[in-house]
Amino acid sequence: MIPVQGFEGAKVAVLGLGRSGLAAAAALKAGGAEPVLWDDSPEARAKAEAAGFTCADLTRQGAFDGIACLITSPGIPHLYPRPNPVIAAAMAAGVPVDNDIGLFFRSWATEAWDDFDIAPRTICVTGSNGKSTTTALIHHILQHAGRPTQMAGNIGRGVLDIDPAVEGEVVVLELSSYQTDLARALTPDIAVFTNLSPDHLDRHAGMGGYFAAKRRLFAEGGPDRAVIGVDEPEGVYLANQIAMGREDDRLIRVSAARKLGDYGWSVFARKGFLAEWRKGRQVASIDLRAITGLPGAHNHQNACAAYAAVRSLGLAPKLIEEAFHSFGGLPHRSQTVAEKRGVRFVNDSKATNVDSAAKALEAFTNIRWIVGGMGKEGGVAALKSSLGAVKKAYFIGHSARDFALELAPLEHEICETMEVAVARASAEAEAGDTVLLAPAAASFDQYPNFEKRGDHFTQLVQALPD
């Protein structure tokens, strides 16, 4: 746990008692603050009180009298589409509003660091797609290199739930737009921006607000080094905002679409090869094509971003390449779960929208595609340009027939359930085929979340005969 600094003896309100809220309350208490908790759910309040915390109704008149700060969970709106009433009341009362990310950055460094020869570092990763894989890959490379490291944030543990730093440690944080938007302190040593595509637009009142939330990670405190994906206009703009000129190597540009050899420092992937260029010359290259845990151009972008981040710490290219080969990938993200009779089975249940499904479809050949669920606004017609490798589609879930109509004349079968789809796809698959779960839809018609959907697919595949 990271005891929160700066609130000793003060009352601090905590709104939202999920994982991050309870961790924040415990860290505040450990730092000498008096946390006062609230959640609309009686069950959540009962759980907090059972853990020894005090709950008080923050919706009542005068609830913020004597409160030094309000800490809110990332999922609770503070501005758009409309502020939560408790947050609005805190702001009206002049009470600062923050989140656990802000508390982390104000509390991470301690006097104990004065005795360290090598100061701890933080690497923060944000973006629309690939940030979980990039974060996990950075963490994996550091572990492979024998560096002390912890991973937290939007993946794994809450940021205040990690252990205090040891000498030379690197903490790797995945940060969502919800987390970066409100944090009052954002001071990473290395900040990574993967890419940007439409998401959470109601929460940020459009793409401009969404990008602005991501940009705060680079603008509020200013990282020592920035790793920026420049395959979208927003990344190009952000890189231009940071760099003082073409040779400024505080910025590492990253691309999975084109060569970037004319800058001070760049890392890019073309035709399955990662290349690092510095001051106009290539200094390293890695063949990514045979790395099972990083299939497809979207994962090659993740590999470039992770490579750039750890190169900033001085790790050697050969060591990074070794770590790439031992990276198994994240569950539910282009994860190979089995190979049977020459057929590869891939779980990409996290591909819940058109953009992520397209990337999955472009990563493999000879695809038997399991697709469907609770369709999202806009449908899936935009995927027609990504169907070149699909031999047949097996539609499941609520939107099965709608998807079939939108993607006509694609060869297909209406299967309704995962059980039928896996059975039919595996029965028809030939050696060299890939049975790919990339739903392009939410899971809520048949599963509580995409993880349960991916787990079910994996269980069914593993039960198939070898």
Tell me which amino acid residue 415 is: C
pLDDT computed for residue 220 by the predictor: 87
pLDDT computed for residue 341 by the predictor: 95
Q: For 22-26, which contacts have Cβ atoms below 8 Å and span 24 or more sequence positions?
A: 22/47, 22/48, 22/51, 22/53, 23/100, 23/158, 23/159, 23/160, 23/161, 24/71, 24/99, 24/100, 24/103, 24/158, 24/160, 25/53, 26/1, 26/160, 26/161
pLDDT computed for residue 355 by the predictor: 87
**Per-chain mean pLDDT for the chain:** 95
Helix pair angle (296-311, 131-144), 10° resolution: 50
Q: What is the DSSP string of 371-385?
A: EESB--TT-SGGGGG
* Residues of each annotated binding site: 127-133
Q: Could you give the CA distance from residue 270 to residue 277 in angstroms, rounded to a whole number?
A: 13
Tell me which residues of the chain have a pLDDT lower than 70: none
- Give backbone dihedrals phi and psi of 413, rounded to 5 degrees, phi first: -145, 135
Q: What would the two tokens of residue 408 be?
A: 């006509």
Helix pair angle (19-30, 42-50), 10° resolution: 30
Three-state DSSP class for residue 37: strand
Within a 10 A sphere around the Cβ of 387, how many other Cβ atoms?
16
Q: Could you give the CA distance from residue 373 to residue 446 in angstroms, rounded to a whole number?
A: 7
Angle 172-175-177 (CA atoms, 0-180°, nearest 5)?
Answer: 165
Q: What would the two tokens of residue 201 be?
A: 């637009």
pLDDT computed for residue 329 by the predictor: 87
Cβ burial of 50 (10 Å; 0-12, 13-18, 19+) is exposed
Q: Could you give the CA distance from residue 348 to residue 368 in angstroms, rounded to a whole number?
A: 13
Q: What would the two tokens of residue 35 be?
A: 């946390």
Q: What is the DSSP string of 228-246?
A: EE-SSHHHHHHHHHH-SST
Residue pointed to by tokens 């490798």: 389
**Please, what are the domains in the chain?**
11-98 (3.40.50.720), 107-325 (3.40.1190.10), 335-462 (3.90.190.20)
Q: What would the two tokens of residue 12 be?
A: 């601090």
Are residues 390 and 381 in contact, defined by beta-carbon separation less than 8 angstroms?
no
Residue 245 contacts by C-beta under 8 Å, 6 or more apart in sequence?
Answer: none
Q: What would the two tokens of residue 342 be?
A: 């020459």
* Residues of each annotated binding site for ATP: 127-133
